[in-house]
């Protein structure tokens, strides 16, 4: 029973990722895609969590934390890139 529920939620998460992916492909603007990517990252966290429950292991908890950090950093980087046109401002060039 428990396993069926878990598999079902895994399927739902996967389908949700697919739909986010549709947004990612379709656009139409770049911020749309960035938000989709961010959401895919969060979906990945969910997928990883459910999978580790299914596999009965805690080896993937690091991955969840890392995904959280990276999704944040990635989104910030993209946003900054869209805002300023660069990610790391190089003072020496000024």
Partner 1 sequence: MSLLHLAILLPFIMALFVPFLYKWFKSVHTGWFVLLLPVFLFIYFFRYINPVSSGSNTYSTVNWIPSLGIQFTAYVDGLGLLFALLITGIGALVILYSIYYLPRAKEQLHTFYVYLLLFMGAMLGIVLSDNMIVLYTFWELTSLSSFLLIGYWHTREKSRYGALKSMMITVFGGLCMLGGIILLYLVTNTFSIREMVTQAPIIMEHPYFLPAMLLFLLGAFTKSAQFPFYIWLPDAMEAPTPVSAYLHSATMVKAGIYLTARFTPVFGLAPEWFWLVTGIGIITLAWGSFHAIKQTDLKAILAFSTVSQLGLIMSLLGAGSASLHFESLDNKMFSAAVVAAIFHLINHATFKGSLFMAAGIVDHETGTRDIRKLGGLMSFMPITFTITVIGAFSMAGLPPFNGFLSKEMFFTSMLKLLEFNLFNVETWGILFPVLAWIASVFTFIYSMIIVFKTFTGKYQPEKLDKVPHEAPLGMLISPIILASLVVLFGIFPNVLSFSIIEPATASILPYLLEDGEQFHVHISHWHGWGPELYMTLGVIGLGILLYLGLAKWKLVYKLFPEKLTLNKAYDVSLRGLDKGSLKVQELYMTGFLRDYLGYIFTFVVLMTGWALFSKSAFTFETAGNAPIGIYEIVLAAVMILGAVTILFAKSRLTSIIALGSVGYGVALFFVFFRAPDLALTQLVIETISVSLFLLCFYYLPELQKREKLPFKLANFLVSLGVGTVVTLIALSANSQRVSETISSYFIENSYKEAGGKNMVNVILVDFRGFDTLFEITVLGIAALGIFAMVKLRLSKGEES
Binding interface with partner 1 (CB under 8 A): 7, 10-11, 14-15, 17-18, 21, 24-25, 27, 30, 33-34, 37, 40-41, 44, 47-48, 51-52, 55, 57, 59-60, 62-63, 66-67, 70, 73-74, 77-78, 81, 85-88
Beta carbon of residue 2, minimum distance to partner 1 (angstroms, whole number):
17
What are phi and psi for residue 68, nearest 5 degrees?
-60, -50
Q: Residue 82 contacts by C-beta under 8 Å, 6 or more apart in sequence?
A: 30, 31, 34
Beta carbon of residue 91, minimum distance to partner 1 (angstroms, whole number):
15
Say if residues 77 and 40 touch (Cβ distance below 8 Å). no
């Amino acid at each position: 029973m428990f396993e069926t529920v878990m598999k079902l939620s895994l399927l739902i998460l996967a389908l949700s990722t697919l739909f986010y992916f549709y947004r990612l492909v379709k656009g139409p603007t770049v911020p749309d895609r960035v938000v989709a990517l961010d959401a895919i990252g969060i979906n990945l966290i969910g997928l990883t969590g459910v999978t580790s429950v299914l596999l009965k292991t805690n080896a993937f908890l690091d991955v969840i934390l890392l995904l959280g950090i990276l999704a944040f950093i990635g989104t910030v980087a993209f946003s900054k890139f869209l805002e300023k046109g660069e990610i790391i401002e190089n003072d020496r060039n000024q």
